[in-house]
Structure 1
Amino acid sequence: MARYALVIGIAKYDNITNLPKAVNDAENIAQLLKEHGRFDVQPLPGKLIESENRWQVTAEKKLLGKELGQALRMFLLEKAKGSEALIYFAGHGFEAPSLTGEPKGYLATTDCHKDGQNAIAFDDLNTLIAKSQLSSLVVLLDCCYAGSLLERSFIRSSFPVFNREQDYCLITASRAFERAREDAEGGIFTKAVIKGLSQDKADVTTGEVNANDLMSFVSRELKGSGQEAIYMGGGRSIPLVFYPGNNQVAIGVVSEECPYRGLQAFDKEHAKFFFGRQKVVNLIQQKLTQANFIPIIGASGSGKSSVVLAGLIPQLNESEWQVLDPIKPGFEPLIKLRGAFQKFFPGAKKEKLLKDLIENEINDVAAILENLPSSVKFLLVVDQFEEVFTGGASQQEKQRFIELLTQVVDITDSRLAVVITMRADFLEPCLHYSSLHHLIQTQAVFIPPLTGVDLKEIITEPAKLQGHSVEEALLLKILQDVKQEPGFLPLLEFALTKLWDKRDQKKHQLTLEQYEKLGELAGALNLHAQKVYDYPDFEDESPTQQRTQQEKEWIRLIFLRLVRTGEGEKDTRQRQPKATLLNIAGYDPNQQEQLSELLDGEAGLVKGRLLVTGKDEKGEAWIDLAHEALIEGWQTFREWRQQDRDLRRLSDRLADSRREWCNKGKSEQYFIQGGLLAEVRDSWQQLQPYVQSPQEDEDFYQRSDNHEKSWTAELEMALTESRLREKAARVENLLTVQPLESLVLAIQTMGENQEKLPQQILAPVQNSLSRVTNKARVSIPFRGHEDDVASVAISADGQTIVSGGGDGTVRLWNLQGQPLAEPLRGH
């Protein structure tokens, strides 16, 4: 494709100081683009060097506003139409107030005036760019206030050029309020650009220097210079210059290292194999020049983590950014956040300070930044942000974590920026946090599905980098299959990894034949997972050793513990400490050793690429699913998840409550109680296979249960005492008007006291009985016994009297002394 460059260097000015060095800068750029950029260069103002039959930028000519305006129009709308275009400008730039008083940026021409007359307004340049139909565009502006083009003109117009399909890169020498500086040789920005485009800065393999590489280098080069280069870009990173490369495929060098990542995310160690997402990476980097909080939202399996870990971070590591170790919120997001800043707070005293800064709500994130090096810009990446909502943290901890992260937008010139990655199906919980909701609305980058050239790149380019090829028939088949599989990316990456293992090693090629044997896109993961589940010798083509039933049951429980059971069928993965998973085997050391071998031994689940392992900030081992794709992609696992969902949800809630209890100093205020305790009590035996830490969970449950029983007993005692005192008072009130009822109630109250509070006869009860027996005179004869009456009792409702006598009978009476039934004899 044709490549055209318009290189402008203006030395002569009628109303402003001349800039003789601008011509030298422009000519150096022009020669570089001709020799190594494959550009057809148009210099302005130009002079023909007849002896060499070429044009060059000259200091002898003026460049009037009308001439430059026409040249820009012709170049953008006609000459470079459908082609790759580059515009370079060296000269004066300035701002002047518009009629409304707002500052407006201009490129200075020879005959311009300080009010903007005869100058090229950035707004007009923006309009021309928006109208152009270019394949790609690069703009390099080395002039004062050049950032006005990006920070004001394009922002006011809502980036019309950025909404198009073309690739673009715009780099300015300074911000809207800064002057561009010169040294003895020329503009320091152009000097950095030329240095950044030199052969020693080219990619070793391709021999290219692209726009992103250039911006990263220029940013570092200008650090501390008093001016800051500004970048905006979109689409692919545009190659600017080309030098001879060391292309492995071209010279036949073959590497056996697998360039695909299976179910694991790409990271900075594997960035060279990461393809297909350059447009998104560029967009995120562009947004980081404008905002301090960037949410990256995408469907499960869309590659969000890889975009950041293998795309953005390596690109930023080449700039002025210092990227903190990425974190995942997990069960305790505030502790994870503490870990991100831990290295800046060495020693016990400072560790305690950091803990207070993060947990104490009177502090904000600015207080943390005060303790970080002042000359560095930091980036914090929070991967799998949805764990804030699924990890079981308390509402208070969730709120504090989100507040601290989102506070970066309130800090002027914040030295900390935050990038989060989150599954799109967790947007709803974000609505409950106003600051987070607003930032998602205004700053989010949504990960689009991979299509077209980008999709082909992730299939073919990693193999090509290793000296291998992808059979054309295989490529066509995969492209057809992905159309049938929503969220296909992890399945595709896994299938490619398996294909690499089965590649034709003579032809150095991935083939359609092996793809079909693997079960194609939809079946490869399921077949592999089932094979690892069934056979310890799963790496053999035809395995023969069967796993024991004990091992299979352990695998079932392992996988169920590595997901958090959601409402309905919405489950998410949750990593677990290895020590917690070993509890599945009970407390027999031999059994735990066998389970450990099953997890990450030679024939284990980590070796089988179904699980991944690592260590947390305390050095303790953890285990996690290799990817969420296993949740739906492995049929057996899907069937397991349908069983006992209520019990597994209850186990998660119990574990969450226990963790919060531990975090709160094991205060009895954080025992489980009420409905949750009742559920655990009723389901304790059925819950046993799913409790995450049997001893700890049982201890927590028993403490909670005993606490509630003790509290209930105390409450019942208090209610009983209150009720007895009330009855004793009624005895006194009835004594003069209804002596019989008073006597009956006094006897009944004493009986209840002896039964329910045997350790304590209440004084009001005893006194009321004493008074009523001394004062009440009731003459109702009870006739029927033929011998002495030995005992009398009154029913609980006070309506029936029972008596037992020496004549061997038990008789029932009403309050009027009338027998209620035949006597019971023989007693």
Structure 2
Amino acid sequence: MTGLQGTNRSIRIEGSAHSSTIVSGDHNVIIQVFQQLVEQPVEALADREDIAAIGANPYMGLAAFKETDADRYFGREAQINKLWERFRDLYERSEIPRVLPILGPSGCGKSSLVRAGLLPELVQRPLPVRSSMRVAAMTPGAYPLESLASVLAEVNPTDPLLSDFEEELKQVGRDSNEYEGLRRIANRIRDIRDTPLIILIDQFEEVYSLCKQPEQERAFTQNLLHAASDPTGNVSVIFTLRTDFVGETQRYDQLNQIICAEGVLIPGMTKDELCRAIAEPARQAGHTFDDATVDLLVNDTEGREGALPLLQFALTQIWEGLRAGQAPIVTYRDIGGVGGALAGEAQKIYDKLTEPEKQTTQRIFIGLIQLGERTQDTRRRAIVENLVASQDTIESVRRVVQQFSSPSTRLISLSSQDGKETAEITHEALIQEWKLLQYWIKENQEKLIQRDKIELAAEEWKTQDKSNDYLWQGKLLENARSFRKLCGREFSLSELAEAFITQSLAREHPTFDKIVNCRADHSGKHSAEPTWH
């Protein structure tokens, strides 16, 4: 095995390139996992010498299960088999696109079910008509074409057109007027006929909540549908989607029709399934929960909306209590049960902060929220440097972020994008459960709307090669300038949005650049705005 590890970033390659594979890429972080990793039965894994010693926490906290967690994913065995059979039937019906939508509300376990359940099952048990399967898993992020190009590059690293994948995905065919890039790229993959490509789009709702470029949204969607409709059968698509975003798909009739006809709605877990999800990871790690503890957790979870991440978080806390010598029931009561554990942990961290740190915390979390349009609010990934408001420093922001991203809680997840550190709320359950965060969002709603409006306009300006025609002027520009001046102490804008406002002002007032450059402080932020008469 070879490995490369850095801060919140890992690339791992195991096994042989001649077997079925999973290639997973989330926001340009690629993990390649081969069949040998997931094909062993759980009974065999339990005897391995490298199984973690008793005391290591087997639960996931707020993080979704991934492909590498298949050996500790329990309770959804029947649903995994159902999805495998549904995908097999879909694949064999050649007259329709090979697209399997998997739907459910936030917190029902869609991502974990597919990534730790269905994908390893497809690799371990390929479809009868194929000898093996090749799986590429990704999340769209704000730039879905870039994310798709990145994961395709890992699938086919020897393609002579590798560096042009993203541009190829943007191109429309000369004769067909269709986005054919994905189909063409897939057809160039070696042995594609014997080992077809399955693309998993996890959290497809990010196409609507994070991507603010209509043309990229359209190209991404149509690339997937066109490739999945190709009669060669070389490409199939599986995606997970929150049910409150189904309405957004109506702008693409074919996609919407597929969802209505082929979508699988993920049910809540039964009592027996919850029992397995609670008890089996502990048993595998060397500890057996008593029946009373399991029953208590099951009863507290059953019927609760978005409960699965809350349950995993509570179990994580209970296990840490065990390591400290505390009985499960004592920890359970201390954290406020399944419903109180998540919000209670966030509040506990917040209450220990100094007053300036509490103010920074509010600004950070507000910067990690994307207001919903007819949908629930969602998390928003941000470059850490862009979370620094005018009264903060990068050091003060990092100190607070570290408090909420420690391994024991991980309420905020850190990764990297284009070499820059990024942060995001680990699970949207925190947005729904933490009352203080809900209060901050409500109090700042109008400002958040204005911030998002500026960011959206800046993204459009960028996609148009920063043409002056897409700069703001008049009332729009005045509102943006006022926002930056009056709200800059509370709300940070991205570097792109800052540049967008600056260039808009420079276009309207040719002397603006010189004035601003004279007033710029050492952090590179504008220390003041000139007043125009």
- Category of TM-score, reference length = shorter chain: 0.7 to 0.9
1:548 CA displacement:
1.9
Q: Give the aligned residue type for 1:372.
A: I
In 2, Cα distance between the equivalents of 1:698 and 1:202?
52
In 1, Cα distance between the equivalents of 2:479 and 2:99?
41
User: 2:527 maps to which residue?
Assistant: none
User: 1:685 maps to which residue?
Assistant: 485
User: 2:133 maps to which residue?
Assistant: 321
CA change 1:316–1:621 in 2 (3 A) is farther
Contact 2:149–2:166 (CA under 8 A) maintained in structure 1: yes
Contact 2:245–2:375 (CA under 8 A) maintained in structure 1: no
In 2, Cα distance between the equivalents of 1:352 and 1:304?
33
Contact 1:651–1:690 (CA under 8 A) maintained in structure 2: no
- 1:305-704 equivalent positions in 2, closer than 5 A: 305-318=111-124, 319=126, 320-324=132-136, 326-343=137-154, 350-362=161-173, 363-364=179-180, 365-375=182-192, 376-483=195-302, 485-503=304-322, 511-535=328-352, 547-567=353-373, 570-581=376-387, 583-584=388-389, 591-600=393-402, 603-607=403-407, 608-616=409-417, 618-672=418-472, 676-677=476-477, 679-681=479-481, 683-689=483-489, 691-693=491-493, 696-704=496-504
Deviations along 1:550-574, whole A, 9 cap, x unmatched?
Answer: 2111111111111101247831111
Deviations along 1:411-461, whole A, 9 cap, x unmatched?
Answer: 013212211111111011111211110111122121111112111111111
Q: Give the aligned residue type for 1:371.
A: R
1:502 CA displacement:
0.6
Q: Secondary structure at 1:470's aligned position in 2?
A: coil
Deviations along 1:194-213, whole A, 9 cap, x unmatched?
Answer: xxxxxxx8736269xxxxxx
Deviations along 1:104-133, whole A, 9 cap, x unmatched?
Answer: xxxxxxxxxxxxxxxxxxxxxxxxxxxxxx
Contact 2:390–2:492 (CA under 8 A) maintained in structure 1: no
Deviations along 1:260-307, whole A, 9 cap, x unmatched?
Answer: 101110112222111111222222222332232111111100111111
1:355 CA displacement:
2.7
In 1, Cα distance between the equivalents of 2:150 and 2:205?
19
Q: Secondary structure at 1:205's aligned position in 2?
A: helix
CA change 1:692–1:504 in 2 (3 A) is closer
User: 2:108 maps to which residue?
Assistant: 302
Q: Does 2:66 correspond to 1:267?
A: yes
User: 1:281 maps to which residue?
Assistant: 80
Q: Secondary structure at 2:312's aligned position in 1?
A: helix
Contact 1:261–1:493 (CA under 8 A) maintained in structure 2: yes
Q: Which has the higher helix share?
A: 2
1:638 CA displacement:
1.4
Contact 1:296–1:444 (CA under 8 A) maintained in structure 2: yes
User: 2:23 maps to which residue?
Assistant: none
In 2, Cα distance between the equivalents of 1:599 and 1:494?
19
CA change 1:672–1:388 in 2 (3 A) is farther
In 2, Cα distance between the equivalents of 1:704 and 1:383?
37
Q: Secondary structure at 1:640's aligned position in 2?
A: helix
- 1:81-230 equivalent positions in 2, closer than 5 A: 203=41, 205=43
Unmatched runs of 5 consecutive residues or more in structure 2: 1-38, 92-97, 127-131, 174-178, 511-533
In 1, Cα distance between the equivalents of 2:321 and 2:423?
28
In 2, Cα distance between the equivalents of 1:677 and 1:570?
29
Contact 2:471–2:503 (CA under 8 A) maintained in structure 1: yes
1:619 CA displacement:
4.1
Which ranges of 4 or more aligned residues in structure 1 deviate by more than 6 Å? Answer: none
1:627 CA displacement:
0.6
In 1, Cα distance between the equivalents of 2:145 and 2:458?
17
Q: Give the aligned residue type for 1:693.
A: L
In 1, Cα distance between the equivalents of 2:208 and 2:498?
25
- 1:72-83 equivalent positions in 2, closer than 5 A: none
In 1, Cα distance between the equivalents of 2:468 and 2:185?
32
Q: Secondary structure at 1:374's aligned position in 2?
A: coil
User: 1:146 maps to which residue?
Assistant: none
Contact 2:383–2:423 (CA under 8 A) maintained in structure 1: yes
Contact 1:260–1:493 (CA under 8 A) maintained in structure 2: yes
In 2, Cα distance between the equivalents of 1:679 and 1:202?
60
1:407 CA displacement:
1.4
In 2, Cα distance between the equivalents of 1:474 and 1:407?
50
Q: Secondary structure at 2:191's aligned position in 1?
A: coil
Larger radius of gyration: 1
User: 2:7 maps to which residue?
Assistant: none
In 1, Cα distance between the equivalents of 2:273 and 2:197?
30
In 2, Cα distance between the equivalents of 1:656 and 1:690?
19
CA change 1:344–1:477 in 2 (3 A) is closer
In 2, Cα distance between the equivalents of 1:623 and 1:435?
35
Q: Secondary structure at 1:330's aligned position in 2?
A: coil
Q: Give the aligned residue type for 1:317.
A: V
Contact 2:244–2:376 (CA under 8 A) maintained in structure 1: no
Deviations along 1:286-338, whole A, 9 cap, x unmatched?
Answer: 233223211111110011111111112222333411222x2222221111111
Contact 2:370–2:378 (CA under 8 A) maintained in structure 1: yes
Deviations along 1:773-806, whole A, 9 cap, x unmatched?
Answer: xxxxxxxxxxxxxxxxxxxxxxxxxxxxxxxxxx
In 2, Cα distance between the equivalents of 1:484 and 1:382?
28
Q: Give the aligned residue type for 1:562.
A: L
In 2, Cα distance between the equivalents of 1:406 and 1:462?
38
Instruction: Give aligned pairs, total.
Output: 449
In 1, Cα distance between the equivalents of 2:316 and 2:155?
39
Structure having greater relative contact order (Cα 8 Å, sep ≥ 6): 2
Contact 1:330–1:574 (CA under 8 A) maintained in structure 2: no
1:699 CA displacement:
3.1
User: 2:27 maps to which residue?
Assistant: none
1:513 CA displacement:
2.6
TM-score (norm: length of structure 1): 0.51
Q: Secondary structure at 1:323's aligned position in 2?
A: strand
1:388 CA displacement:
0.8
Q: Give the aligned residue type for 1:360.
A: Q
Unmatched runs of 5 consecutive residues or more in structure 1: 1-200, 208-244, 536-546, 711-827
In 2, Cα distance between the equivalents of 1:656 and 1:449?
36
Identity %, equivalent residues = 28
1:409 CA displacement:
3.1
Out of 37, 46, 54, which is 1:255 matched to? Answer: 54
Contact 1:609–1:626 (CA under 8 A) maintained in structure 2: yes
Contact 1:463–1:469 (CA under 8 A) maintained in structure 2: yes
Q: Secondary structure at 2:43's aligned position in 1?
A: coil
Contact 2:455–2:494 (CA under 8 A) maintained in structure 1: no
Q: Give the aligned residue type for 2:343.
A: N
Contact 2:244–2:375 (CA under 8 A) maintained in structure 1: no
User: 1:134 maps to which residue?
Assistant: none
Q: Give the aligned residue type for 1:374.
A: D
CA change 1:413–1:442 in 2 (3 A) is farther
Q: Secondary structure at 1:623's aligned position in 2?
A: strand
In 1, Cα distance between the equivalents of 2:505 and 2:479?
11
1:662 CA displacement:
2.0
Deviations along 1:157-188, whole A, 9 cap, x unmatched?
Answer: xxxxxxxxxxxxxxxxxxxxxxxxxxxxxxxx
In 1, Cα distance between the equivalents of 2:53 and 2:467?
62
Q: Give the aligned residue type for 1:323.
A: V
1:597 CA displacement:
3.3
In 2, Cα distance between the equivalents of 1:668 and 1:367?
35
